[in-house]
């Protein structure tokens, strides 16, 4: 669920699970961010959408994420990349919500469209 009460100053972490991960095509967006560590989230399930994955807030056996410490400017850039629209969070491709991680609460981008017929990844990670 989108938690607007959390600001970047209270939640300076983002959990990434797709093309933003190290070694993948969009990782360059995280230049300047501090890699905090890896974790497994049981609060989300990934769906293979072909060129990228989408997460839904559904229980899993643990999907792999990388956690980064970011600032407000980088969060704004990531919002643009993920087509997150703060005034209409469910109108874009993704919305974001706070999820608990080993390193503290982190933003997680959640996929808005339906995923019927897509392969669920309930454990492990997504790789192209």
Q: In the prediction, which pLDDT does 114 show?
A: 97
Q: What integer pLDDT is reported at residue 10 of this predicted model?
A: 63
**Residue whose C-alpha is closest to residue 62's, from 121, 123, 105:** 123
| pLDDT reading at 2 higher than 90 | no
What residues does each domain of the chain span?
A: 13-124
pLDDT, tens digit (0-9, with 9 covering 90-100), for 48-58: 999 999 999 99
pLDDT of residue 97: 94
Reported as a pLDDT band with limits 50, 70 and 90, residue 128 is confident
Q: What percent of the chain has pLDDT over 70?
A: 91
Task: Please name the residue that has the structure tokens 């192209």.
Answer: 128
CA-CA distances (angstroms) from residue 35 to 30, 75, 86? 9, 15, 25
Please tell me the distance from the alpha carbon of residue 41 to that of residue 49, in angstroms, as a whole number. 19
| CATH number for region 13-124 | 3.10.490.10
Find out whether 84 and 108 touch, Cβ atoms under 8 Å.
Answer: no
What are the pLDDT digits (tens) for 38-83? 999 999 999 999 999 999 999 999 999 999 999 989 999 999 999 9
Which residue is catalytic, options 66, 77, 82, 114? 82
Q: Is 82 a catalytic residue?
A: yes
For 33, which DSSP code? P
């Amino acid at each position: 669920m989108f938690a607007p009460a959390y600001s970047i100053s209270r939640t300076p972490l983002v959990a990434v699970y797709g093309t933003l991960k190290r070694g993948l095509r969009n990782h360059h967006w995280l230049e300047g961010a501090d890699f905090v560590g890896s974790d497994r989230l049981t609060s989300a399930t990934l769906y293979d959408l072909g060129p990228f994955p989408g997460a839904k807030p559904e229980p899993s056996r643990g999907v792999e994420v990388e956690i980064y410490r970011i600032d407000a400017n980088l969060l704004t850039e990531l919002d643009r990349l993920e087509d997150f629209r703060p005034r209409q969070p469910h109108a874009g491709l993704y919305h974001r919500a706070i999820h608990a991680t080993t390193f503290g609460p982190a933003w997680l981008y959640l996929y808005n469209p339906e995923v019927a017929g897509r392969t669920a990844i309930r454990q492990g990670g997504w790789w192209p």
